[in-house]
Every structure is written in C-alpha cells, then in structure tokens.
Structure 1
C-alpha cells in the first residue's frame, strides 16, 4: 500500500551515489568486509543477549587476568566484540579506511594470514610486556593489570608494517618510522595496555613482513635520499613533541613519561585560600604548594603547558624543508628539555631525601619515573646530531633578523600592556619591578614555574584572563613568526637569469609553451653546464614548473633528474606542470607519478585549408568580417598607439569584470605579458579604428629559428563583432602559413580532455597514475566550468579541426598531491580574495543546482 510520500529526488541520487562510491571503495577487499561485518554482528548479538554492561570487558576482551585464567578465547573475541556501540562504529570506520587499501595491496590471502598472526602474537607479546612492567614500576603495572583491550588499531598497524615490506621505498620508510615512533610515544606517555599491545603488534608485523617478502635492501631500509631523511627526522621530532600533549589531555595517563598529567592536575586553590595560608606561614610548604597550584589554575595555563610542544611542531615544518635554523632550534629545544628534566629530577630527589631522613617510607620507583623523561630529549638530540648534514639550507637573507624583530616587538608590546594594566589596577607604579618579573614568569610554561618564587600572588593586580593568556599570546606569536620564516622560499637568482633563459630558449628551443617560461613570475634553475634550464615557482613547498626543461633534447632526462636533486636539497617537492608526452616518459622512467591535466590543440599549417562543411563557421566569420569592414591587423602591443592600447585595456577589463573573478595567471598570459616585443599581436579593427577583438601569439623556437606560434591572450568586445576571435585565429593561421611557419598552437585547455584518449601518445592512462586522481581532476574541471569554461574553450578550438596533444603533470610523491593542488590553484589565482572565493563557490553550487533541476 502506497503512503503517497515519495523520497526527494536529490536524496535518492545522493544515496545512490554514496552506495556506488562505497561499492567501488570496498571492491577487492572481501576479508576486510567480512571482519567488519563479523565485528558488527557479534557486538550487536552479544549486547542483545546479556544485560550486564560489563560482560564484554570481563569475559570477552583481552586482559592480563583473562590469559592468566586460561581464557584463550579472548584472543579471538577481543578482535570481533566491541565493548560498546561507539567503539564499534569507530572500529568499522577504521577497518574501511585502512583495512581496504591494505588488503588490496597485499592480496586477500596474504592479508588474512597477516591479520591472524599479528592479532594473536601481537596480543600475547603485548600482554607479556605488560606483565614485565610490574617488576620495575608497580604503579604502572597495577594499572595495566586492571585494563582490558579491544583495539583493532593495534593489529591494523601491525598489518601495515607487514605490508610495508612490499611497498615503494618512500612509503615503506614513512610507515616504518612513523608507526613505531607513534607507538613508542603512546606507550611511554599514555602507557595503556592497548598501547603496549599496539607496540608489540608493530614489532610482530615487521617480522611478518620480513618472512613474507624477505629482507629489505639495506640501502632502502631507512636512510634514503636527503629529502626523505629530513622527513623522517621531522616525524621523530613531531612524535616527541606530541607526547607531552597526549599526557596532558589524557585522564588516565599511566606511562613512565606521563608525570606531566599528574603535575598539572593538582587540587585547585583559590587566591583567598592561598592568601590566608601564606599570611600566617609564608615559608611553609603548604604556602608554596598553594602559590604553585594557582599557576596551574585555568585553561590558559593548560595551553601554556604544551606551548613548547607546539613550537616543536612548528619547527618540524622547517626540518621537513631542510632548514639549518630549524635543525639548530630543534637541537637547542631538546637540550633545554633535557636540562629541565635534570632540574626536575634534582628537585624531586632533594624532597625525597628530606622525607627519607624524616623516616618516611617512600617508593623509589617514583624517582625512576621522574627521571624517565630524560630519555626522550636525549634520544632526539642524538638523532639530530647524527643527521646534521641533511639540514644545509640557510634562511632567506634578512629572514632571521625580521623574525627576531617581530618577536622582540611582540615581547615589548605584551610586556608594556601587562605592566601598565597592573600599575593602573594597583594605582601606583611601586609594583612595576614585580610586575615586570611576573610578566616574564607568565611566559614560562607552568611545569617549569616550580623553580621560581612567584613575584606576586596570582591575579593580584591584573585581570584573570590576562594573567592566564598573556603567555599564550606570546607563544602563538612566536610560533607564527617561526612558521612564516620557514615558509619563505630561499631563492638564489641572479639579475641576468631571465636573459640567460631567453638565450637558451632561442638557441635550443623547447615545447610549444616554453615561451611562458620567460615571464617575470618565474625563477630559474640552470644545469651545471649552463645549456638547459627549468623555470619554476615555489608555492607552499612545491616547486611548480612552467612546462618542461628547456635545452638540447638529449639532455632533458639529465636535467629533470638534476632539478629533482636541486629541489630535494632545498626541501621542495618538484612538480613538472603542462609537460609533453616526451617529458612525461622521462619522469615515468624515474618512477614518478603522472596525471593528465589538459589538451593542447595544434594546427599544421603545411596542409591548412578552411574548406568543407567542417569549416563552415570559420568561412562565415571571414564573410561577416568583410561585410562589416573589419580587418585583421598585426602589431606589437608595446608599439600601439595610446588610442588602440586604451581600447585593448578596456576590452580586457570588461572581460574580467564580467567574470567577477580575478584574471588567471601562471600559463595564461595577460596584458603585462603582451608587452614583450617578441610577442605578436593581432587585432580585429574596423574602418573607424574600433578594436573588436585581440589575440597575442608567442614564438616557438627550434635551433635558433621560429618554427611556430602559440596562442596566448584572446579577448573580444562584448558589443562588437561576434565571431571576432574565430576570425582572428583563422586570419593568424593563414598569415603564418604564408610566412612559411610549420604550425600554430592554440595553447592548452586546463582540466579538459579531447574526445580521443591519451593512448595516442603511446602512454597508458594508468601508468603510475591512480585513477581516483584523474577522476578528481575531471570533477574539478566540471565544477569550474561555469566560471572559467575550460571545456567550452576546448570545444571552441575544435572548430579549427586541430590535432591534440596531451599535457601532463608529473611528481615524485603521491603523498604531496594535496600540496600540489594548492600550489596549482594559487599559481593560477594568486590574488583571489575571500569574497571572490565565496563567489566562485556560489557560482559552482548554483550551476550544479540548475543542472539537477533540468534533470
């Protein structure tokens, strides 16, 4: 019986699309789906059959007591029965996100074997490790003894370690450094039973991978290229920085390095209570304890406690880029942390000795736990010392001085504000020295304030919010300044680099788009022999090239390899953009990934004839131009009269205003690029000297001679001659043919494809290029179509019946794709404002809504 209520079409479409996406994602991973389904069914069934909410934890999840009582079934049930439905949901998501790609990579049989071995042996090894803890740390051991485990992340991490044995070198190194570093940090700072099982599972997984695939080539084990060494060191420092944060935010940190959590969660005191205690016994330990507790009271102090960790996270970005200043800063930070840990141990030892002399029986393991945090900064400092040669990039000229000025200014401004506020509250300047000292103490993270006597009672003369957050404001400024310094690229350009590049381009030639490398927005790298160069710009750590290498064709492969080494030395990821099929083959030979990013339309002038039905629109544009008295006139934009120039500028501004978006750059030139005297300009002009359209053409050189021309700039007056652009392109082609040139390139159409496939280049669409990336780029092209019309542009060019050549983007590391996407977007739209971004999203959304309504 129909209810008369039909689901909304957009909901049906969205549900169908989601189901199709889920089906595509899970294809080829039956074992993962079975494990996820078994976990869901088993969890729901067990919870439905028992009313005891603790039944699963007591009887089915893994624990030390369970195995001591010979409950061996928990090795299996702890894998598939979750303690509650929230944990079940998170587990299923984890399996779908991580288990599916792992199974695809390993194959179902190998994946199933790895899951079984890692889950069982990892659990047994983890529990054995937990039992051994009690022999040297009773407090930690007692907490582990009452813990239970249901953590699919443990065996997933172990299986990932096993799978890494057959992964490409880059991913193998990252997994084999990142996962163990994270596991060690969790075990030491959080110290739960699941953390120890996770650490043991990772070790077991490493052994399983060795058994399945044999030992790894020693040269590929960990070290690798200088760029990879930097990344791995940054991961290690990052893991050490996040450990204290983990201990602070955790409510049940039990690990040996988790003393920070206990230190910062003391019982709260009020200012009145402290004042009352200290007024009667100013030197008592109770007074000191109260003063100390006030320094930890409030969210601001909690944030301030992890400020050093946040600064280290910022420094990690500089380490990733190979900055010498980042290496020095990280080493100094580790030495400071080591010194602070030594002072903390010394202070605790003094207190422990005083109590022991008084006859109080104390557990010596607490002193051992207090000394344990010494190990982390010492180990990280040793790693930094041994990898010093990987960090050789100096900061840009003046960057360090500018950063120091910014930090000094922030310090002076905040200090003045703090002292002035306190003095006005006290109605006297008598406390200025104490307020100045107190301000300095506000900058020190709470855990280190125990070494200093407070200058003033907390909140004595300044508002509570300022007392808590003034230090946080300084550290945020410091982190932002340091990050800005690392984000500034280091260039080593010479004043005549642009002239050298142009000379090489004229002498040796390049691709049809290579003249764009002469534009002012480029930087240049030259081969050691000076015969080739690559034009590039650095955006967010991505060295984005303008087409491929320029120089003798036989040297292109060596140039690409040397440019990649140059980028690695500078901490950048190279990305060859808008390259030809030949250059892509060079990149593929290096093991790089390649993605199809557009089509170049080319007219061969030797056989050019605008005859036949296919060229009806072109002939019509000629006939209409003759009827309206419009002629095509060659000129140079730099030499045109002011009247003509003003018209061209007005036409360009009208086009930009109509888009309500900024004019695109990068591989799309504008009026500035037309100023080049070597660029030819063709205008459609009538008898009244009114300009109806304009195109610009870039020369293409081969062996010192111009052999073709590439279309760059094209605009038409909205109220003028309609087919002005068709008329100009056809007129230019006829003119170039009469001058004896070989071809005309109508340039590329970004994010658009011709009807033919890229197999015409002799390359497979899937060679080192994952299909999802191609699909993502297609989706971006469709989304931007209402605004910039890339596909419409390609369709317009098809009127001239050109042949097509694919353009590619090649890069060495697929993990850099998000950064590459950001770099390409910022290169094309470097001056996009927030309002224009909102307009772009609104236009895309409106276009999609209109399309759905039409369906």
Structure 2
C-alpha cells in the first residue's frame, strides 16, 4: 500500500528543506555558524550545518513511512534550526524555512504512527556510548603526545573537559603553543562527536524488528489449511522456521512472511481459502503500516498477484516455475535424448535410485548426514522455495530420493515437499560432484517414474528467474534490446544460477507457470531486491 499522498508530500518538503540548507552552506558566506559555534572541536561549522541538512534529507524516508521516531527527530532538528539561524546574524530566510518545516510537522503529527524498534533507544545509547568512549580515549592520547606543546601545566580534568567539549563543537580550556596541535585535536574530537551523533540517529531510525517463527499451535492450523487448500506449490514452504504468520480475522487464510531490514517479505500465495485472502492481505499490510515496513511479495502466482494488486501493490513477472504432469512424462523422443542418455550412463555405472516417503524411511540420519556433506558451502540458501531442513520428523509426507553408488554410498539426495494431495514440489537437490554427471537427472526421473505409486500427478521443479528472457533471446528474430538483456543476465549467472537453472529445467519439457514480484512503487525496488537477496542468502 502506497503511503498517503499528503505524507509523501510532507516527506518531500522536509527533504527539500534539507537540500536547501546544504546548498546555502555551499554558497558564500561559508562560515555563518562560526559566530555562535567555535571551529574548535568540530570539523567546521559549515560541515555541522550541512550535516543538519543531510539529516533532514535522511529523515524524509522515515517520514514517508510514517515513523514516529523520524517525526520526533524532524521536530527537534527544525526547532534547533530556528534558534541557530536567528542566533547568528538574524538569518530570517533560513529561520523562516525551519519554522515552516516545524509548523508542517506539528500540524500533521497524527499521520506519523509507525512504531520503531522497541530496543532502538537502548542500542542507540550503547552505540553512542561506545563511540564517545573511544573518542575520549583517543582524544586524551592525542593531547598526551602533544603535552610538551601545551601552554602552562593544565591538570588532567582540563584535558578531559577539552575532549568532551570538542565532541560537541565547543572550545575547551587547553591552549596549544602551535595551532596545528590544536587543529589536530579538534579534528579528532569533532570527528568522533559527529560519528556518535550519526550512528545514534541511524540506530534510532532503524525499523522495528520481529522475531521470526510461529508457535506449535499456529503450525497445526497452517497444516490444516494446507490440507484443505493446498493449491499453491510453494505453500508448504510457509512451514519454514524463519517465517511468521499473519491471519485473517476468520482464521481461514494467512500470509507467511519474514521481516528483512525494513521490508516485510511475503513468499508465495497466501495460505488458505482464496475467499479469505483479502482480509489476510489487509491484516499483513496494516502490520506493515504500523511498523513502517515496506511490503513485498516474492514469487506469488497470478491469482494472488491480482489480489495483491487490488490492495495497491504493483507486480512484475519474476520468472517461471517448471511444472511436470507425471501422467504424460516419458523418456522417449528426440527432445528427451539428453536426459535419457544421462540416466542410462548412470545406470551402467552401477548407481541405483530409491524413492520413499519420509514416514517410511528408517535410515533418515544417514540421508541427512549425506545431504549436509554434499552442501555447497556453509550457508543454507533459499527462502521462497526451500524448507531449510531435511527429513524433519514432522515432514512425514515429504518424499526423499537417494542415489547410491555400487558400494552403497549415498551420492545424491532430493527432497520433495507435498503440494496438495496429489503433487510434489522440489525442495532440496544435492549431488556429489565427484560422482560424475547425470546423478540429478537420474533422481528426478526416478521420482517421476515412482509418482503414480505415490498418488502424485504433478511435480514442481526449480523456479527459473527471468526464464522468458533466455527463452525469447534464443528465438529467431530476437531484438537487440532483448539480446543485450540476455547477455547481462548471463553475466549475472556467473554468480547466481539463473541460466543454468532454466536450462536444467527445460530439458524435462515442463509447463511454465509465471511467478510475480509485488511491491508498492518503483522507488522501493532496490530495497526490495536487497531484502530478497538477503532472505535467499545470496547476500550476508
């Protein structure tokens, strides 16, 4: 949901005031604040005034999201601006701008209700105390190494006063025989003072946090919804331990999400009865509004995308999900030649695949240990299409596919999660790279072959980001813009598996189902993209 226009306009006006303050300090006279704030202890009075303008620009983002803390800080900065402008040379123009901003904020205070991080003030105080402590220690040491250049023999308490006053931009009692010594101490103490103030502001303006996870009672309710309304192939992934749930008032639907930074990131479709989706979406968006979080949805289907759009979110196609109908799957035909050859090559090498429900397995510990050993790196990636656990005792309906070499060692593991009462969604895919190619293809084919006995008629494979770009770029007559976009994505594929996932899925000739990314406005896309990459563990 977009912020109200009036609140957006307020944020823009505050930012414009901050930009005006910065520009005024870039023009002569350059040191207007020097009449009231001595240069000693600050980088310069000009830099201090410009910092206030930058702070107003920074506060604009919090004001746009309705954060109460940003409102309080904006009132303080605007009020201080009036005093400063009048104190040096009666700068009526500057005072009028600050007064206008103050009146604007006070007159619209009821629009800023988003709560911040409950522990933010404590964390801000601790951070400021740490920086002030470090600055005090370094300032005292800097005076000590220049003690022979001090005028007279001032006591240590005067040293301490000089450092502390320097951090707030005031002259201290010490006098140096050489101006360079005084300037060096002023730069050090002023830098730490400004740094402490900046860190304190950033900490105070951090969005509220929420501990991820759901209670055992919520998990039981969620499983009941998945049994009754399990049409989304990503629905089972709502049972991840790092996802929270917001329910519709009737309890017939829920939105699974995780707060990443300032973004509340939902994944897949809402869980439950589609008729109850709107109240669940409304509850989730109201929670985002209350905390000043940016709402975003990663990987929802078309029906859910339309539901989110009715609440004001925009949607763009993120990629496509590969879905196979097991009733028509066959290895025959020219198009399946590469898969058929891979499966036969693995079989000739003595590998065998088994397919079992988790509840029927007795060697789960061995499979889990093998899957962990074959993980590529220490980070468990995934958020929207990953369960983040293997062979869990509560996941009795999951299907585990193992591939063993002739000596009985596990060389590959697949885990599928339930999709309704007749489907599976690929969750985990691990293979021993030293075992040669074709392990994954053999396990996928084994799962598809065993599907009828398991009562499975549909299988969802990996999600291919920007699949249509790669597919259309390969077609005859693809335009230069499309080919350029395809080349850019291929460069990105060196770091993230974009093209390789598409090619790996395409070989099975699946049906492609589009998935969408929903977000409030284009200006939020960079923040949403970073949150999605962090949630999927592609960024720390």
TM over 0.5: yes
CA contact (8 A) 1:708 1:743 kept: yes
Of 713-722 and 630-639, more deviation after overlay is shown by 630-639
2:459 maps to 1:751: no
Paired residue secondary structure (1:512): coil
Q: CA deviation at 1:403?
A: 0.8
Q: Supply the distance in 2 between the matched residues of 1:441 and 1:628 (Cα, whole angstroms).
A: 78
Q: CA deviation at 1:481?
A: 3.3
Partner of 1:737: 452
Q: Supply the distance in 1 between the matched residues of 2:287 and 2:37 (Cα, whole angstroms).
A: 53
Partner of 1:506: 227
CA change 1:439–1:652 in 2 (3 A) is closer
CA deviations 1:798-852 (Å, max 9, x no partner) are 33222111112122312222222322333333555xxxxxxxxxxxxxxxxxxxx
Paired residue secondary structure (1:245): helix
Q: 1:329 aligns with which of 73, 77, 80?
A: 73
Higher share of residues assigned strand = 2
Question: Higher Cα Rg: structure 1 or 2?
Answer: 1
2:421 maps to 1:697: no
CA deviations 1:437-486 (Å, max 9, x no partner) are 433432345xxx6xxx8634477795422213422322223212321343
Q: CA deviation at 1:626?
A: 4.5
CA contact (8 A) 1:754 1:804 kept: no
2:350 maps to 1:597: no
2:102 maps to 1:384: no
Partner of 1:802: 510
Q: Supply the distance in 2 between the matched residues of 1:568 and 1:293 (Cα, whole angstroms).
A: 40
Partner of 2:52: 308
Partner of 2:163: 439
Q: Supply the distance in 1 between the matched residues of 2:467 and 2:263 (Cα, whole angstroms).
A: 23
Q: CA deviation at 1:432?
A: 3.4
CA contact (8 A) 2:123 2:203 kept: no
CA contact (8 A) 1:592 1:811 kept: yes
Paired residue secondary structure (2:434): coil
Q: Supply the distance in 1 between the matched residues of 2:257 and 2:41 (Cα, whole angstroms).
A: 52
TM-score by length of 2: 0.84
CA contact (8 A) 1:598 1:749 kept: yes
Q: Supply the distance in 1 between the matched residues of 2:380 and 2:225 (Cα, whole angstroms).
A: 30
2:273 maps to 1:552: yes
2:178 maps to 1:474: no
CA change 1:680–1:546 in 2 (3 A) is same
Q: CA deviation at 1:576?
A: 1.7
CA change 1:463–1:803 in 2 (3 A) is same
CA contact (8 A) 1:548 1:577 kept: no
Q: CA deviation at 1:503?
A: 4.1
2:119 maps to 1:414: no
CA change 1:431–1:322 in 2 (3 A) is farther
Paired residue secondary structure (1:491): coil
Q: CA deviation at 1:547?
A: 1.1
Q: Supply the distance in 1 between the matched residues of 2:428 and 2:37 (Cα, whole angstroms).
A: 68
Partner of 2:63: 319
CA contact (8 A) 2:267 2:298 kept: yes
Q: CA deviation at 1:339?
A: 3.5
Q: Supply the distance in 1 between the matched residues of 2:153 and 2:372 (Cα, whole angstroms).
A: 63
Q: Supply the distance in 2 between the matched residues of 1:432 and 1:710 (Cα, whole angstroms).
A: 70
Paired residue secondary structure (2:435): coil
Partner of 1:171: none
Q: 2:370 aligns with which of 647, 651, 675?
A: 647
2:525 maps to 1:825: no
Q: CA deviation at 1:341?
A: 4.1
Q: 2:307 aligns with which of 574, 586, 606?
A: 586
Q: CA deviation at 1:487?
A: 3.1
CA change 1:778–1:666 in 2 (3 A) is farther
Q: CA deviation at 1:324?
A: 1.9
CA deviations 1:9-37 (Å, max 9, x no partner) are xxxxxxxxxxxxxxxxxxxxxxxxxxxxx
CA contact (8 A) 2:207 2:262 kept: no
Structure 2 stretches lacking a partner, 5+ long: 473-479
- Correspondence list, 1:37-56, <5 A: none
CA change 1:676–1:460 in 2 (3 A) is farther
Q: CA deviation at 1:745?
A: 1.0
2:243 maps to 1:525: no
TM-score by length of 1: 0.55
Paired residue secondary structure (1:748): strand
CA deviations 1:606-650 (Å, max 9, x no partner) are 334444443344444554454444322235499636554443333
How many residues are aligned here?
523
Partner of 1:106: none
Partner of 1:338: 82
Q: Supply the distance in 2 between the matched residues of 1:433 and 1:321 (Cα, whole angstroms).
A: 46
Partner of 2:383: 666
Q: CA deviation at 1:604?
A: 1.4
CA change 1:455–1:719 in 2 (3 A) is closer
CA deviations 1:474-518 (Å, max 9, x no partner) are 222321232134334432767515554444333432411122222
CA contact (8 A) 1:521 1:537 kept: yes
CA change 1:425–1:644 in 2 (3 A) is same
Q: Supply the distance in 2 between the matched residues of 1:389 and 1:639 (Cα, whole angstroms).
A: 61
Q: 1:263 aligns with which of 25, 29, 32?
A: 32
Q: Supply the distance in 1 between the matched residues of 2:19 and 2:384 (Cα, whole angstroms).
A: 41
Q: CA deviation at 1:335?
A: 2.4
Paired residue secondary structure (2:295): strand
Q: Supply the distance in 2 between the matched residues of 1:247 and 1:652 (Cα, whole angstroms).
A: 57
Q: 1:707 aligns with which of 412, 422, 428?
A: 422
Q: CA deviation at 1:400?
A: 1.0
Higher share of residues assigned helix = 1
- Correspondence list, 1:586-625, <5 A: 586-590=307-311, 592-625=313-346
Higher RCO (CA-CA < 8 Å; seq separation 6+): 2
2:428 maps to 1:717: no
Paired residue secondary structure (1:306): helix
Partner of 1:246: 23
CA deviations 1:734-788 (Å, max 9, x no partner) are 212222223111131123228878xxxxxxxxxxxxx99x999755532222344
CA contact (8 A) 1:697 1:712 kept: yes
Deviating beyond 6 angstroms after TM superposition, the runs of 4 or more aligned structure 1 residues are: 458-461, 754-757, 774-777
CA deviations 1:69-118 (Å, max 9, x no partner) are xxxxxxxxxxxxxxxxxxxxxxxxxxxxxxxxxxxxxxxxxxxxxxxxxx
- Correspondence list, 1:3-18, <5 A: none
Partner of 2:475: none
CA deviations 1:532-590 (Å, max 9, x no partner) are 22222333433322112112112334443443343233322222221112222334445
Q: CA deviation at 1:684?
A: 0.9
Paired residue secondary structure (2:320): strand
2:260 maps to 1:539: yes
CA contact (8 A) 1:426 1:461 kept: no
CA contact (8 A) 1:304 1:472 kept: no
CA change 1:419–1:610 in 2 (3 A) is closer
Q: Supply the distance in 2 between the matched residues of 1:829 and 1:594 (Cα, whole angstroms).
A: 23
Q: Supply the distance in 2 between the matched residues of 1:670 and 1:556 (Cα, whole angstroms).
A: 23
Partner of 1:39: none
Q: Supply the distance in 2 between the matched residues of 1:641 and 1:591 (Cα, whole angstroms).
A: 46
